[in-house]
Structure 1
Amino acid sequence: MLKIKHTICPSCSVGCGINIVSGEGKVLGTYPYKRHPINEGKNCLNGRGSVEQFENRICSPSLVKNNELVESDNETVINLIKEKLGSINPDELCILCSGKNTIEELEAIKQFAESYGTDKIGFYGYNFPNDDVEVASYDDVSNAKTILAIGDILRDNPLIGRRVIISKENGGTLISVDTVEKSNTLLNANECVKVDSISDFINDMGEIKGKLDGETVILINKMENKDDFNGLKELSVETGAKLLPVFKQANIKGAMGILSSLDAEEIKEFLSDSQALITVNADPLDFLTKDDLKGKFIVNISNFADDFTKLSDVVLPGKPWTEKYGSFINAEGLKQEFISSVISDDENLSEIEIFEKLA
């Protein structure tokens, strides 16, 4: 019998509702959630394709030998990790979380790090710094007279892009800034600004700055460094324009309230004198090289196989978002709670259970 249950899309920080179609404990597909106030039954390709990753799902706790997963069990893997952690100093452990973790998981992992004695814990924030700046709402985007979009919002975050199009249909002006020649946002813009560097543009906007006022929303999903965002905050204060960062992962805004948002250089510094690395739903190869990870005992808590899996020493699958109870905070600051939409019959531990056992 097919089942349809509601959850929150994990593809980005917009926070769209999505229904999961399942049967016999397996995810079969998605179906639009018509009553969700953010996306109103519309799911983008990113959301609809979010279940395709289940084809590469890791089903069992495993050891990694010769770049291959060797099936094991929770007790063996947990004991191996505890043995390693007991043989190093607390400040030789680095923990990398991600915006894919729920609020509840992040709090549990932070508690573990504090009890173990390491302060080398954080997540990769895609060059966005920790910040509690007041952000624009999605309705502000729809009603904006001018939108300054930094990055390809229409491709990467289509349900925010829908709000951008509504603004244009109401007479609003879209100014698109990017380092590429072509993008969906550039193609739909009233004014296109091709730049070699986002940072250089923020430091010297020229005549663009005079077009921003209190009815402007600055949408950002692309930052080159943390100082870029500080420059945009200053611009917001000076012009009255509202800011709305849109993140690549569902709960980056929530993670910012709990852990440090790190850039690649900060993570490299953490790793430089670390003997062990625990990653939780994070792929360091998105922002580091294989050489940066050499010589580390790597605990990879992840549901899905990728190139990083082969570099790990042990793998614990944890639970995919379809089997989680928890909450995310979306780009506009709304806390969204959700329950498990699929019940599987595997014996894999949840991320919170893993850290409880490691403690």
Structure 2
Amino acid sequence: MSTKLIPSLCPYCAVGCGLYLVVDKGKATGIEYMTEHPTSEGALCPKGNAVLEILNHEERLKYPMKKVGDGFVRISWDEALDMIAQGMTRNIRKHGAKSLGFLASSRCNNEENYLMEKMARLLGSPHVDNCARLCHSPTVVGLGAVFGTGAMTNNLLDLENSKCIFAIGTNFTEAHPIVTRWVQKAKDNGALVIVADQRITSTSWMADIHLRIKPGSDIDLLRGMMKVIVESGLADEEFLGSRTVGVEDLLQSLKDYTLEEAAKKTEVPAGDIIRAAKAYAISPASALLWQRQKPGLLRRSSLAWSSCRSTTMARTS
């Protein structure tokens, strides 16, 4: 029998759902669900179910296309490579090597990105970029500053045991549907879900508390929640004193910040901010979810930093 099942991972997002590729005579012809995978448990979202389209879709480009007039015509690989080499050479001679820019991709493997970087250096260009620099570096800065490492502190399976889940800046039911399964398991076990999002989404439908914040006021909300936690005596002072640095500066920054100011800037009623802050702080096992934001690099870094600060302030077991 020539058909084989090859274990693999869906490449579309960082959830990393497992699947089997059905391979017949060296060609992937279908997928099978990996029920034993710890995260996806045999489930896939629409992106995962359509993963083979990246290989087999009829509209996939199979050869180089050259722009001619208002359309494109097929050319050979030799002609395409010659055009690229000649264009780079002209640009270097006219503007210098630093005028060249190279964009790598998270869709490429390590070896492919490595070779692109080496080609850029060979040609004398220092300009090599990747989408991850924009969408992940703020998180790395925030997590690194607070926890010492730029990676998540728990796995998705831990969500099932959470008693309070705070989601800010994420619409996970649409962006990462498999995560929804674990949030729902937590809800089935009695967890309270808080969602901070100005929109009404399928994620906000899961919320027990929906904080419809004004766009761009994420940090104001988090500062307001921290203010409530501190003034209500819910901060873990022993943990803050022995396991953190900079807590004095944080507390000083909250000294003149009022709940009324937070409510005004976020357009969220003060009572809702109090309810969310206390629910998160008194929970014996809280979880914080967020994904990449759109308000700009520095603001995303601050959001990640502030979110992590609120996590350490109300430390849960």
Q: TM-score, normalised by structure 1?
A: 0.60
User: How many Å separate the matches in 2 of 1:9 and 1:92?
Assistant: 36
User: How many Å separate the matches in 1 of 2:8 and 2:74?
Assistant: 30
User: How many Å separate the matches in 1 of 2:16 and 2:34?
Assistant: 12
Q: Does 1:236 align with 2:308?
A: yes
Q: Is the 8 A contact 1:96 1:121 kept in 2?
A: yes
1:129 equivalent among 121, 129, 137: 137
Q: Does 1:218 align with 2:226?
A: no
Structure with higher Rg: it is 2
Q: CA deviation at 1:24?
A: 5.8
User: How many Å separate the matches in 2 of 1:201 and 1:155?
Assistant: 20
The aligned residue for residue 146 of structure 2 is none
SS at match of 1:69: strand
Q: Is the 8 A contact 1:212 1:239 kept in 2?
A: no
Gaps of 5+ in 2: 141-148, 225-272
Aligned pair in 2 of structure 1 residues 27, 68: CA closer, same or farther (>3 Å)? farther
The aligned residue for residue 66 of structure 2 is 63
SS at match of 1:113: helix
Q: CA deviation at 1:2?
A: 4.8
- Alignment coverage as a number of residue pairs: 240
Q: Does 1:105 align with 2:107?
A: no
Matched ranges for 1:4-23 at <5 A: 4-23=5-24
Q: CA deviation at 1:3?
A: 4.5
State the one-letter code of the partner of 1:72: I
Matched ranges for 1:208-287 at <5 A: 208-213=276-281, 215-224=285-294, 225-226=296-297, 227-240=299-312
The aligned residue for residue 47 of structure 1 is 48
The aligned residue for residue 38 of structure 2 is 37
Matched ranges for 1:321-332 at <5 A: none
Structure 1 vs Structure 2 CA RMSD:
2.5
User: How many Å separate the matches in 2 of 1:99 and 1:212?
Assistant: 34
1:179 equivalent among 198, 218, 223: 198
Q: Encode CA deviations 1:21-80: one digit per residue, 9 max, x unaligned.
A: 355665443221223232121111221022334232111123222343322222221121
State the one-letter code of the partner of 1:44: C
The aligned residue for residue 189 of structure 1 is 207
Q: Encode CA deviations 1:285-340: one digit per residue, 9 max, x unaligned.
A: xxxxxxxxxxxxxxxxxxxxxxxxxxxxxxxxxxxxxxxxxxxxxxxxxxxxxxxx
Which gives a bigger RCO, structure 1 or 2 (Cα 8 Å, sep 6+)? 1
Give the 4+ runs in structure 1 shifted more than 6 A: none
Aligned pair in 2 of structure 1 residues 34, 139: CA closer, same or farther (>3 Å)? closer
Q: CA deviation at 1:175?
A: 1.0
The aligned residue for residue 139 of structure 1 is 157
User: How many Å separate the matches in 2 of 1:78 and 1:15?
Assistant: 34
Aligned pair in 2 of structure 1 residues 159, 24: CA closer, same or farther (>3 Å)? same
Q: Does 1:164 align with 2:183?
A: yes
State the one-letter code of the partner of 1:196: K
Q: Does 1:78 align with 2:81?
A: yes
Q: Encode CA deviations 1:71-128: one digit per residue, 9 max, x unaligned.
A: 2222221121111111122111112223222233222222222222222221234644
Q: CA deviation at 1:211?
A: 3.7
User: How many Å separate the matches in 1 of 2:120 and 2:278?
Assistant: 47
Aligned pair in 2 of structure 1 residues 163, 84: CA closer, same or farther (>3 Å)? same
Identify the range of structure 1 (164-173 vs 227-236) with the bigger mean alpha-carbon deviation.
Answer: 227-236
Q: TM-score, normalised by structure 2?
A: 0.67
SS at match of 1:163: helix
Structure showing the higher strand proportion among its residues: 1
